[in-house]
Amino acid sequence: MRVGIYQFAPEFGDIESNLNKAEAALSQLEADLMVLPELFSTGYLFESREELKRLAEEIPGGRTTRALEAIARKKGMGIVAGMAEYDPQQDKYFNSAVVLGPSGYLGKYRKIHLFYKEKKWFAPGDLGYQVFEIKGAKVGVMICFDWFFPEAARVLALSGAQVVCQPANLVLPWCQQAMITRSLENNIICVTANRVGREVRDEEDLGFTGQSQVVDVGGVLRFRLGDQDEASAVIEVDPARAIDKSINVHNQLFNDRRPEWYQNIIKS
Ligand code: ACM
């Protein structure tokens, strides 16, 4: 399976230009699964509810989902992309990722662990950690700050995810290294698509750290992009290698867990 990342600096509020940029990048790549950054079509730092209302879209049905769906079908690829979602049923906004396969819309993930001022605008995700089938591989999704909670990757791996896609807008310096451990401790492939550039809005000045990467099973870093450049990469991986969880003849990652001693983890 050819998995890829595209990192760029979205222009805040300019969905048209961000979509065009992503479309141009994806149309040049041959991949089975591409991951785009968190909130790739809107930018990150919202300043008002009105702004969020203007830029968030329904999933599916909104313009960003439709545009990505057209690319996924045309290129025969899966796409996982972060975007701002409006749910009219609940009248809530979510920091979401849309999941598309080569034949169209598969589903969405709504970010569960919200970071910093995201809590002002978005509701915490209410759909859980789900696994989607894309081109024969089991694909799980988490978004950015979910990395800080190892339960996210663990739950996805226990649900069968072989590849975990992570759209990101990282501002802290540790995630890229931490994802190597998430891969090692779950024997999964971790694909992080982070953005680059800065945003100065809402009395904040945030620099995003790029270094989008693909970590293969066993915590093997296969590729990491630079911290500033707009770039893409596609790497061949074998998701079947994520099925066997044995560490050696005596140890197996999942069978050796002792959940009877982990009860504090599931207390609220
Ligand atoms: C983040 O979750 N965007 C840091």
Return the residue whose CA atom lies nearest to atom 3 of ligand 1. 169
Q: Would you state the pLDDT for residue 2?
A: 98
Pocket of ligand 1 from Cβ distances under 6 Å: 38, 115, 144-145, 169-171
pTM for the model? 0.98
Atom of ligand 1 nearest to the CA of 115: 2
Query: In this structure, which amino acid lies at residue 170?
Result: L
Q: Ligand 1 centroid to 114 CA: how many Å? A: 7
Atom of ligand 1 nearest to the CA of 38: 3
Per the annotation, the verdict on 111 as an active-site residue is yes
Per the annotation, the verdict on 38 as an active-site residue is yes
Q: Would you state the pLDDT for residue 69?
A: 98
The CA-CA-CA angle for residues 141, 32, 152, to 5°, reads 15
What's the total number of domains in the chain? 1
Q: What is the pLDDT of residues 254-265, one digit of tens each?
A: 999 999 999 999
- Pair 95, 122: CB distance under 8 Å: yes
- Pair 30, 61: CB distance under 8 Å: no
The CATH number of the domain holding residue 114 is 3.60.110.10
Res. 243 pLDDT band, cuts 50 70 90 = very high
Per the annotation, the verdict on 144 as an active-site residue is yes
Structural domain span for residue 96: 2-266
Return the residue whose CA atom lies nearest to atom 2 of ligand 1. 145
Cβ-in-10-Å burial (0-12, 13-18, 19+) of 61 comes to: exposed
Q: Would you state the pLDDT for residue 36?
A: 98
Sort strands 104-110 and 231-236 into parallel, antiparallel or unpaired: unpaired
Q: Out of 21, 75, 111, 138, pick the active-site residue.
A: 111
